[in-house]
A = this chain, B = another copy of it.
Amino acid sequence: MPEVEQAPKLDQALAEVAAEMAERTDRGDVATYIPQLGKVDPKKFGIAAVTNDGRTLVAGDADQAFSIQSISKVFTLTLALGNVGDALWKRVGREPSGNPFNSIVQLEHENGIPRNPFINAGAIVISDILLAGHQPREAIGEILRFIQFLADDETIIIDREVAASERATGYRNFALANYMKSFGNLHHAPELALGVYFHHCAIAMSCRQLAMAGRFLANGGKNPATGHSVVSAERARRIGAMMLTCGHYDGSGDFAFRVGIPGKSGVGGGILGIVPGVASLAVWSPGLNANGNSKLGSIALEKLARMMNWSIFAP
């Protein structure tokens, strides 16, 4: 395979990727275990890039909001690290799990300490941390306002129907929360931590909004538009490392292998991708692959990263 000599312009690349994805027929299956998510049109595809030098480029359905689901875990982790610092790592590990996203087996073998903050169990602990000193409603509000702040967009909302749908059917998550509680690794009642969890997963954003919200991770922890620091440069690097090793559940190794940039997926079909020093990306296609990650979203990012020579493993 000939290696890229010169990367194309980003707007051309996005358009080309979007056009190719529009023709794909094998788009994966839309998640149905949260009934509300099963209603989404599988033919949707959107992509957006916000560059460190201030450009916002989009293609496809980039302005339609979708349920960001687990992508929200990047933002709750960031917020929780701000609140409690590295003490957080006493309650959550930072290793890939080697198991499906909703596995409970690992918790039994490791005394209720989830392997990382991006599997469900880990994110529920993060929600529990964000509850400290708050009512669930306040903690949820804090998370939403943080994401609105990062995206510079106060129109972002929580889809209450999705949150209710998750609560009504989320027995596996209730099991995880109660199980960790039995080890003392939740400080609040399981239903309170889950209340926070279900609501932040139900935040609805467009690709454009999501790429905006991820800017600080592509820019050493600072909002490139204002220069204001969200997190330290070291913390931004570390969150990126965790996205790379754990951001795609039990398909994280494959995503790193194929795409080569830090990313975080959600079962709503979205993926947030970070190209350090260059751009924050968001892609959305509702159909999922066998590991529960957006099928076309993964392929689109693989193509884009190759066209633009964006792999962090490239010279």
Contact = CB atoms under 8 A, between A and B. Distances in A.
Contact of A254 (B94, B108, B182, B262): B94
A149 interface: no
Nearest to A314: B237
Interface string A289-308: 00000000000000000100
Interface string A247-258: 000111110111
Interface stretch (A16-24, A96-104, A127-135, A204-212): A96-104
Given A95-B96, A108-B104, A315 B175 contact: no
B242 A253 contact: yes
Interface string A123-161: 000000000000000000000000000000000000000
A82 interface: no
B179 A94 contact: no
A177 B97 CA distance: 24
A253 B313 contact: no
A115 B97 CA distance: 12
Given A98-B96, A98-B97, A252-B95, A179 B104 contact: yes
30 contacts: A1-B234, A94-B253, A95-B254, A96-B96, A98-B98, A104-B107, A172-B178, A174-B174, A175-B176, A175-B177, A178-B178, A220-B314, A237-B311, A237-B313, A238-B258, A238-B313, A241-B253, A241-B256, A241-B257, A241-B311, A244-B256, A245-B253, A262-B313, A276-B312, A276-B313, A277-B314, A277-B315, A278-B315, A312-B312, A312-B313
Contacts of A8: none
Contact of A244 (B104, B178, B238, B313): B313
A111 interface: no
A265 interface: no
